[in-house]
Amino acid sequence: MLKTIRDINFKDKKVFIRVDYNVPVDKEGNIQDDFRIKLTVPTINFILKQMPKQVIFGCHVGRPKNFDNYEEHLKTNKIAEKLGELIDMPIKKIDDWNQSNHDKNNPNNCLIMLENLRFNQAEKSEVQEERDEFGKILAEDVDVFVEEAFSNCHRDHASMTSVPKFVKQKCVGFLVENELKMISETIKDPEHPFVSIIGGVKADKINAIQNLLKTADKILIGSSLAMLFYKIGGKEIGKTKIDLEGLDTDAERIIKAYLENPKIILPIDVVIGESINNKKEETAIVSIDEIPEDKKVLDIGPESIKNYNIIIKQAKTIVWNGPLGYIENEVFAEATKKVAEAIVETTHHHDAKSIIGGGDGVSAAHKFGYADKITFISSGGGASLKLFEGKELIALKILE
């Protein structure tokens, strides 16, 4: 059974908190969005009130490519500064991972931010021994390990799954606890009608659909995923980009069964164009049976939006993962916007619970100004998708 920070006495302890501060930064390392940092503040404040001896923060930023000459903008210096501002306490940034070199009895070393964990190749090494060796360094003299990097909980990385092996007490913070409660528990035991919306490109989302079908009343499919379904069903989808590589051996059989399932709702009309950069006047709306061979499907059409929103407005539980069109271009963001508006209306006027499960859906909510009007927004894309699939998260299993 998972312990939470409520179960641990942190007084005079040395604490390692694995946080998710993989925030967007510019070329100078300036933080563009501190949403993920703010999410961890309640956990940090709870621990600090108990007067621990020392707190170590470990995180990764971006995908470093140079392991000999670290990319300046991916260093954690400005993240340490921002966190210090948010909790109103100075944080000492160190340039490596040997926090044991910094005396925990020295008041100046009370709060330490390690350098970007992914600057060390062992963090993501495919060799278990290498990950464990790095994990042992990170865990040196640590009394309590706190998992607060939900978005990384599906990854078998040193700081996620090796560090806990060498620490006696381990638990999850408020953020992870809340993610599990809101996503897993809602999907297992939702208030009905329960409507799920699944978009995006990746074919492996059929695993999530398979699990959602156990409790969902309707599942609305959009974007390239819907076109993948139609392609396997024998329809013309033109030059639409679909994820055939993401299909496993049983996928075609499963998708063909989905096409006959009354719970699965697919678009009946779509917006087509030659390019993702098309202007509105260069696009057209056509029936799902009239997609030309030389065009791409880039959004679902107005009739489909109308159908989807009728279903959404009857829901008491709504779970959404992935945009319904190519939202990077405003021309193809209409369905995602309209569906988001319907979710917000249903949440506030019909007392529904609404959850956005990480990734591009979260980006869309922030982009269109709906983020603060949704019941819960997950901080993790891949991790939340694993919960949608009903699967265990490897970094949490090791804490049990």
* Pairwise CA distance, residues 363 & 254, whole Å: 30
Pairing outcome for strands 269-273 and 296-300: antiparallel
From residue 318, how far is each of 51, 219, 297 by CA, in Å? 41, 10, 25
Find the catalytic residue in 135, 273, 358, 359.
Answer: 359
Report the candidate in 19, 46, 26 with the shortest Cα–Cα distance to residue 147. 19
- Whether 391 is catalytic is no
Omega before 107 within 30 of 0, i.e. cis:
no
Find the catalytic residue in 29, 84, 233, 382.
Answer: 382
- Whether 202 is catalytic is yes
Q: Are 159 and 18 in contact (CB under 8 A)?
A: yes
Q: Which residue has the tokens 């306490």?
A: 89
223: left (phi over 0), alpha (psi -120 to 50) or beta: left
Give the pair of three-digit tokens for residue 279. Answer: 């202007």
71 three-state secondary structure? coil
* Pairwise CA distance, residues 349 & 115, whole Å: 46
Give the pair of three-digit tokens for residue 125. Answer: 């090494």
Give the pair of three-digit tokens for residue 3. Answer: 């312990």
244 three-state secondary structure? coil
Pairing outcome for strands 317-321 and 353-356: parallel
Half-sphere exposure of 245 (CA within 13 A, CB side): 2
Q: Which residue has the tokens 């470093």?
A: 64
- Whether 322 is catalytic is no
- Whether 246 is catalytic is no
Find the catalytic residue in 18, 36, 75, 337.
Answer: 36
Find the catalytic residue in 18, 131, 202, 205.
Answer: 202
Active-site residue numbers?
36, 202, 359, 382
